[in-house]
Structures are given as structure tokens and as C-alpha cells.
Chain A
Amino acid sequence: MKYFYSDLVRDVSYLELIKEINQSKKYKFISNHSDYYLIFKDIIVSLLNDSEIVLIDSDLSKSEIYKFNISEYDLNKMIVCDFPDVIDYIDLINRIKNSKNWQMVLFTSGTTGIPKRVVHKLSNLIRMVKINEERGLDIWGFAYNPSHIAGVQVFFQALLNINHIVRLFNLPVEKIYELINKYNVTNISATPTFFRLLKNANIKFETVKRISSGGERFDNKLFNDLQRMFPNAKILNIYASTEFGTLFASKGENFVIKDEFRDKIKIYDSELFVHKSLLGILDENNLMGDWYKTGDKVEVLKENPLTIKILGRSNEFVNVGGYKVLITEVEEYINSIPGVIKSKVYSKRNSVLGSILVCEVEVNDNSLTETKIFNYLLNNLQPYKIPRIIKIVNEIETTTTGKIKR
């Protein structure tokens, strides 16, 4: 029996998946389930129907969804499909690969605080997918949010090789250990934060053959820790984003740019620019001519072959455990609380999450406490966007133009 998906409560085989698909033939247009299996099934049905699907996080609040310009009607819309029954998994994969009109909409934090819609074609999402016999035996520990590009790419890598996907994301560490061992997971792709939380000096996973990580700063210390914990694994550091998917991979913290990409990337004022031919379809806000501004500061270590190291974000984004947070968006929410005059959100290095958000708030209502502000934010923002330390201060320093000093 070939398994498609497992989590803490169930195992679903490819046979069962196909049976369910043939029976229902419909999908949620805006797929925001908290159950990963339902999201994966929605994606597959949309591919078979060769029509659009939108993915958003399951934990978004109403006011956050409103910013995505999504109506209540769309949020609940089901697409009823009309395609012939799927015969077996070979037929399933062949038909998926032939979806010509299918596209997937993902959202990324925009520079203005308004989430940016990014449309991906199948060809763009599977650019880095490797399909071969050896990969057919892979068992994937799924360790990303499924509505984010990295998760979507892992999903396609696994699906197109008819692999087994085991959900590891957002579970207690001891359950993750248990699942890796129970299913003999061979591949895990995750953020550095996920691996840092998994770290344990006494545990080794012998079955894991490939580890890849990215999405925030990946340093040599993490690399060594991973090698100890996964002694049989090849470890890769990946540079990717919602706009262009996976761009490069390396065996440490430095990226050597392959010849085929050399004329598609540029470094200007220490910032990385990517040629628009590598992007998904998006609004042209971040384009400068034919070049997309990544917002990532890099250090050039060598010119030939071009070797770079990612230093971090150059603007107002902070990376909290692999999630990009636009600090001005968080400030906007805090400033909208009655009694708050102004606020300043910034990041502090953290050994668990890479960075943690800290905030200073100037108030004219003495009854406002850290707990009250935190609670307000808890109802309005996704958890990783909420500053974990909120200090009430007498005055926040501003520049002569009235901007907050950073």
C-alpha cells in the first residue's frame, strides 16, 4: 500500500485519496483548513479541474483577511468540478502535470502593510522539483506552513514522486520525534527555527537522508548541529521567497551562484536583485526596470564564481521563526488601540526564534497594561506578529520629520 499522508490521527493511502477525490469532485476555492490533508486534497482537485486555487493561513483573523481583499462569499465558495474519474496514482500524476491553466494564489507581506497577491503557474512551482526513481522512495517530514511557498514546493516535490507526506509542523517536539521514527522519515525541509527547536544533544535520527533549510539566517553552528542530529543526511541551505520560489542551494551559509543564474542576479548597494524572468506573476511595485528588489542584504565573498552570504533584511521586515513580519503593520494595530499615542516595534536576537518582537508604547491612559495590549493584539493579529515584550514608556524618540528613530 502506498501512503499519501499521515499525521497524529490518521494515515491516508493514495488509493483512499483517489477514492475520496472521485466521490466528491469539489474543492474550497480559498483553502484555509487547519487540517493539512484537506488543503492538499483541495490543491490536487483544483489541478485535476485545471482551475485556480487560493491558499491562506488558517489562523488569520477577520480583520487580517479583510486586508487580503477577500469577501465573505469567496471565503466560503466551493468549486464543483467535472473531470473523469482518476484511475490510479500514475493517472493522477500524469493529469496533474498536464494542467495548463491551473494557477495558485499565495499571499506575501507587502511593503505597504497590504498583503501582496502572488500568482504562481505550475511550471514555476515545480521548477526545482526533482523526479526520479530514487526520489520515489522518499518519505517527507512536512515541516512548513502549507499555505506558504516553501510548503507548497515540498508538497509538489513529494506528490510528483508519489511520496508519503508526514505532517510535523506545529506539533510538540516529542510528537515530532515520534512521527519521524514511526514513519522512517527520510527528508525534512524546514526553517532554522524548526530545527533549533528540534535540537537535542541525545537524539539522533538515522533514517533521515536529506535536510534542507532556509527562510531566515542559516549559520554554520546550525549546520554542525544538524549534522550531529542527522548523521546520515546531506544538508542544504536554500534561498527562496514567495515571489520566485527556490533560487539557490548550498552546503553551508555561503551560496555559490551557478552559471545558469549568473546573469539573472545582480547585487547593488549590497542588496540582492533577481531578474523578473524568475518571478511568479505579480504587481510591479518592487520592480526596478527588469529587476526585482529582494530586500535581502548580501555580502559578496568572491567574484568568480560569484559567492554570497545572506546578511538579513534591508528594510522594515523582521524574520520571526521563518515568518516575515512587517513591523510598521504591527505598529499600526498597536496605534489603533484607544489610549495609545504611538509605538515602536523592533526585533531582538533570540536563541529560539532567531528574532523576537519587542515593542515600546507611549500611552495617555494609565490603565493600559502589557496584558491588555497583548490581548487586544491576540484577537487581531497572527501570533507570530505580536510583540512578546511590551514596555510602556514615557516617550518614544522621533526624528526631526516625526518618524520613529530606528
Chain B
Amino acid sequence: MFEKITEIINYIRTKQGKDVIENIKLTDNLRSDLGLDSLDLAELTVRLESEFGIDIFEDGLVETVNEIIEKLKKS
């Protein structure tokens, strides 16, 4: 699951010409550490939903990689 998430995050980054982040950490903040803006986060939810069937932003904000994993595991 973690690998799939980091793969999607890096896909969203590289699509815009940004670097691949090799060592994404569980505690990384999606915005400040991984540089995702609101459009990127919207895309991330769509890609995660088609992979895992869960909308991570449905009930509230998700800040870190670990919080994504928690949302996906909970449901």
C-alpha cells in the first residue's frame, strides 16, 4: 500500500516536471514536504480511489502519508 501511494505521489510530481522523491516518509506532510497543491491533492484522491475504492478526503482533511494509510485501512 505504501509503495503504491508513493508511486502515485511521484507520478503526480514528475508529470509536472518535478523531481522524484526517493525517500518518502510516513510522517511527510503532503503539502509542505511533498509539495502537493490543492489540484494535486484532488488528483491524488481520484487515483487512490480508483486503486483502493476509498475517497480519503471524504470526511475531513488528510495531512500526512500515514494519515492516508490509516484512512485506507480503516474502511
**CB within 8 Å of B: which of A80-114?**
none
User: Is the pair A200, B60 in contact by a Cβ cutoff of 8 Å?
Assistant: yes
Binary interface encoding of chain B residues 37-57 relative to chain A, with 1 for a CB under 8 A from any of its CBs, else 0: 011011101110000000101
A371's contact among B14, B41, B61, by CB below 8 Å, is which? Answer: B14
Q: Is the CB of B39 within 8 A of A388?
A: yes
Q: How large is the interface on B (under 10, 10 to 19, 20 to 34, 35 or more residues)?
A: 20 to 34
Chain A residues lying within 8 Å of B55, measured Cβ to Cβ, are 351
Counting CB contacts under 8 A, is A174 at the interface?
yes
| Pick from B14, B16, B31, B42: contact of A356, CB under 8 Å | B42
Q: Give every chain B residue within 8 A of A193 (Cβ-Cβ).
A: 38
Chain A residue with the shortest CB-CB distance to B40: A388
Chain A residues, Cβ within 8 Å of B43? 356, 388-389
Q: Which residues of A lie under 8 Å from residue B31 when comparing CB positions? A: 172-174
With a CB–CB cut-off of 8 A, which chain A residues contact B16? 374-375, 378
List the B side residues contacting A389 at CB < 8 Å. 43, 46-47
Give chain A's interface secondary structure class.
mixed
CA distance in complex: A201, B31 (Å): 18
Whether B61 lies near A197 (C-beta < 8 A) is: yes
Q: Are B57 and A352 in contact (CB under 8 A)?
A: yes
Q: Are A321 and B61 also in contact (CB < 8 A) when A374-B16, A389-B46 are?
A: no
Q: Which residues of B contact A (CB under 8 A)?
A: 14-17, 29, 31-32, 38-39, 41-43, 45-47, 55, 57-58, 60-61
Tell me the A residues contacting B by CB distance below 8 Å: 172-174, 193, 197-201, 321, 348, 350-353, 356, 358, 370-371, 374-375, 378, 383-384, 386, 388-389
Q: Which 5 A-B pairs have the closest CB atoms?
A: A388-B43, A351-B57, A352-B42, A353-B42, A356-B42
User: Could you pull out 25 A-B pairs where Cβ atoms are within 8 angstroms?
Assistant: A172-B31, A173-B31, A173-B61, A174-B31, A174-B32, A197-B38, A199-B60, A200-B61, A321-B38, A321-B42, A351-B45, A351-B57, A352-B38, A356-B43, A356-B46, A370-B15, A374-B15, A375-B16, A375-B17, A378-B16, A384-B39, A388-B39, A388-B42, A388-B46, A389-B43
